[in-house]
Amino acid sequence: MKKNDWYFEDFFVGQEIDLGTRLVSEEEIIAFATQFDPQPFHIDHEAAEASIFGGVIASGWHTCSMMMRMVVDGLMSASSSMGSPGVDAVRWLLPVHAGDTLSVLYRTTKVKASASRPDRGVVWSRWAASNQRGELVCTIEGMGMFGRRPAEGLHA
């Protein structure tokens, strides 16, 4: 995919985009959490083994950030993305353990052309991450603005 393969017009309700998989290593869990979420079960192998989690688990923000990377690689980098005003209903449903492999699915839930700005529209989506056992571990309700496809021949 290249920039602007995807415009607002390419999104439709019910559309599902498979964003592939990502292995989560203990090393990167600890590196992220050391910077942003230094709780013992995120950064300390021994403490995490002794905790109710039985081992190091990813910061919820790390899980979201990994999902974002998959959305960027699988969709946004090839799109007319104009940024996002935010996300809703971030849910950390199950721990993400070191060694887990996340699979992420992007589902379009609503599309709306902007009434005030004819060059763009808003796309609502649900991002769902599952682990290698098919268990849902994190969901996010996303929002993004995308540019509309230029009219054919406009600049011809």
Q: Which residues bind a copy of itself (CB under 8 A)?
A: 32, 35-39, 59-62, 64-66, 68-69, 72, 76-77, 81, 83-92
Residue closest to 100 by CA, chosen among 72, 141, 63:
63
Smaller CB distance to a copy of itself: residue 35 or 132? 35
- Name the minimum Å distance from CB 115 to a copy of itself: 21
Smaller CB distance to a copy of itself: residue 73 or 152? 73
- Name the minimum Å distance from CB 141 to a copy of itself: 9
- Name the minimum Å distance from CB 153 to a copy of itself: 27
Smaller CB distance to a copy of itself: residue 39 or 114? 39
Instruction: Looking at 5-59, list the stretches that DSSP marks H as alpha helix, in order from N- to C-terminal side.
Output: 26-36, 40-43, 45-50
